């Protein structure tokens, strides 16, 4: 029977000791791989920041805005018809709301009915002015006749006075000549007074005509106002856009200034980005802005900075914060920046959220930002 093989204890190695080196090798490979990945990611991120990121000023406090029109009533009346529906696209001039126009149509007709009467009054005054001027001409002719008679009476009185002085004629004839001379003088004075009276009558008629003419102008303005009121019973779309927020129903009584609906324009959408006050030094008009709208699934739109607001948003709030109090906590304020979007941009809606990155490298030449980058 054979003996079992003897194993030298000095050369015996456990299985765990034989398998240990492969485990340590795999661990080192894994750690090395992780370190390499971290190094690559960090290097890529650092390179991206150094070449591009450090020149960008960004914010996620940005929204799509539109200069929408709030359709309000200028008149009081009952809603007669609403020919559009919510979210319906309308063209400029399309009817949005009709207000009952019966009262305003009657007011226009009443104003128009007064105009012919006033026109006839003006025609009558014109005829009276013509007659008064004819009277002036007549009195001027009478004055000429009176002056001629005065000259004749004066000549006769002088001749008879000479004859009387030579005792050729009687005193009675001289008295008659003197009376005739006085009568001629009185007739001339009467003719002169008649001319003044006739001329004054012409001026009075002219004043009456001017007053009536002024009344006609006022009446024409009343007609125009009545026509405008009638026109305002129909509310139309101010531009191409979409009707939204219709706040009335047919038959409802609306008051002056009541908000009836809103129209959001098809074009002219822009971004209002609220940047921190510490970021404003790097933002100037003309810089390029990269806009990412959440609703467009991350599609980037290139815009342009148009302007920076002259004050923070809190200044324009209904109740501005009063920091002159005992308890004060400093909060970084934000300033709205308006960013213009390309006209052909589609799929945007007012109020959508966006992320904005402004590239300082695109600052116009001559600005402080451009000089600092140099």
Q: Got the DSSP string for 156-184?
A: HHHHHHHHHHTTSS-HHHHHHHHHHHHHH
| Beta bridge partner(s), residue 72 | 259
Our measurement of the distance from residue 155's CA atom to the centroid of its chain's CA atoms, rounded to an integer in Å, reads: 83
Using an 8 Å Cβ cutoff, are 181 and 159 in contact? no
Mean model confidence pLDDT for the chain: 85
- Collapsing DSSP to helix, strand or coil, 253 comes out as strand
If asked whether residues 183 and 227 sit together in one domain, one would say: yes
Q: Which domain holds residue 254?
A: 70-100+234-262
**Interacting residues of 194 by C-beta distance below 8 A, sequence separation 6+:** 139, 142, 143
If asked whether residues 134 and 281 sit together in one domain, one would say: no
If asked whether residues 87 and 111 sit together in one domain, one would say: no
- Residue 30's CB: how many other CB atoms inside 10 A? 10
If asked whether residues 180 and 272 sit together in one domain, one would say: no
Does some domain include residue 149? yes
> Alpha-carbon distance 250 to 81, whole Å?
6
> Residue 184 region, left (φ>0) first, then alpha (ψ -120 to 50), else beta?
alpha
> Alpha-carbon distance 79 to 251, whole Å?
5
Residue identified by tokens 């933002």 is: 283
Q: What are the angstrom distances between the C-alpha of 356 and each of 56, 88, 341, 351?
A: 10, 30, 12, 15
If asked whether residues 195 and 312 sit together in one domain, one would say: no
> Alpha-carbon distance 42 to 220, whole Å?
80
At 162-219, the pLDDT tens digits run 777 777 777 777 777 778 878 888 888 888 888 888 888 889 998 988 988 888 999 9
Does some domain include residue 244? yes
Does some domain include residue 364? yes
If asked whether residues 106 and 203 sit together in one domain, one would say: yes
Does some domain include residue 65? no
Q: What is the pTM of this model?
A: 0.63
Residue 296: band (very low, low, confident or very high) from pLDDT cuts 50, 70, 90: confident
> Alpha-carbon distance 249 to 290, whole Å?
43
Using an 8 Å Cβ cutoff, are 101 and 235 in contact? no
Q: What are the angstrom distances between the C-alpha of 202 and each of 96, 125, 318?
A: 56, 10, 64
Is 19 a residue whose pLDDT tops 70?
no
Does some domain include residue 193? yes
User: 95-99 and 234-236 as β-strands: parallel, antiparallel, unpaired?
Assistant: antiparallel
> Alpha-carbon distance 183 to 175, whole Å?
12
Percent of the chain exceeding pLDDT 70 equals 93
If asked whether residues 310 and 240 sit together in one domain, one would say: no
If asked whether residues 200 and 112 sit together in one domain, one would say: yes
If asked whether residues 147 and 201 sit together in one domain, one would say: yes
Structurally, the chain folds into a number of domains equal to: 3
Using an 8 Å Cβ cutoff, are 72 and 259 in contact? yes
At 135-156, the pLDDT tens digits run 888 888 888 888 888 888 888 7
> Which pLDDT score, from 0 to 100, does residue 21 have?
54
> Which pLDDT score, from 0 to 100, does residue 219 have?
92
If asked whether residues 271 and 218 sit together in one domain, one would say: no
Question: Which CATH number is 94's domain given?
Answer: 2.40.50.100
> Which pLDDT score, from 0 to 100, does residue 299 have?
85
If asked whether residues 125 and 223 sit together in one domain, one would say: yes
**Of the ranges 93-102, 198-207, 318-327, which is most confident?**
93-102
**Interacting residues of 275 by C-beta distance below 8 A, sequence separation 6+:** 57, 59, 61, 283, 334, 335, 337
If asked whether residues 131 and 227 sit together in one domain, one would say: yes
Question: Which CATH number is 306's domain given?
Answer: 2.40.30.170
Does some domain include residue 323? no
Does some domain include residue 1? no
Question: Which CATH number is 215's domain given?
Answer: 1.10.287.620
At residue 13, what are phi and psi to the nearest 5 degrees? Answer: -130, 130
- Collapsing DSSP to helix, strand or coil, 334 comes out as strand
Does some domain include residue 16? no
At residue 318, what are phi and psi to the nearest 5 degrees? Answer: -60, -40
> Which pLDDT score, from 0 to 100, does residue 16 have?
44
């Amino acid at each position: 029977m054979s003996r079992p093989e003897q194993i030298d204890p000095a050369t015996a190695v456990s299985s765990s000791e034989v398998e240990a080196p492969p485990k340590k090798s795999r661990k080192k490979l894994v750690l090395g791989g992780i370190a390499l990945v971290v190094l690559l990611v960090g290097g890529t991120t650092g390179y991206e920041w150094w070449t591009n990121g450090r020149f960008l000023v960004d914010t996620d406090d940005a929204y799509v805005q539109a200069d929408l029109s709030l359709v309000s009533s200028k008149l009081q009346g009952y809603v007669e018809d609403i020919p559009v529906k919510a979210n319906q696209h309308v063209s400029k001039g399309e009817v949005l709301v009709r207000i009952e126009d019966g009262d305003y149509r009657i007011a226009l007709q009443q104003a128009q009915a007064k105009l012919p009467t006033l026109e006839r009054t003006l025609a009558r005054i014109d005829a009276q002015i013509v007659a008064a001027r004819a009277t002036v001409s007549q009195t001027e002719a009478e004055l000429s006749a009176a002056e001629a008679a005065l000259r004749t009476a004066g000549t006769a009185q002088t001749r008879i006075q000479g004859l009387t002085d030579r005792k050729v004629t009687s005193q009675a004839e001289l008295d008659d000549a003197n009376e005739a001379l006085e009568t001629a003088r009185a007739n001339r004075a009467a003719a002169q007074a008649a001319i003044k009276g006739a001329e004054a009558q012409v001026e009075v008629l002219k004043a009456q005509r001017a007053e009536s003419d002024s009344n006609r102008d006022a009446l024409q303005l009343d007609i125009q106002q009545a026509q405008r009121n009638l026109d305002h019973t129909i509310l139309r779309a101010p531009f191409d856009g979409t009707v939204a927020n219709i706040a009335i129903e047919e038959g409802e009584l609306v008051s002056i200034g009541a908000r009836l609906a809103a129209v959001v324009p098809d074009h002219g959408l822009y971004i209002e980005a609220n940047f921190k006050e510490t970021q404003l030094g790097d933002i100037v008009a003309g810089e390029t802005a990269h806009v990412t709208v959440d609703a467009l699934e991350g599609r980037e739109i290139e815009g342009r900075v148009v302007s920076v607001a002259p004050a923070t948003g809190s200044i324009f709030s209904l109740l501005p914060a009063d920091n002159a109090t005992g308890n004060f906590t400093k909060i970084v304020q934000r300033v709205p920046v308006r960013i213009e979007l390309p006209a052909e941009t589609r799929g945007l809606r007012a109020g959508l959220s966006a992320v904005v990155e402004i590239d300082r490298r695109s600052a116009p030449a001559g600005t402080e930002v451009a000089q600092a980058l140099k």
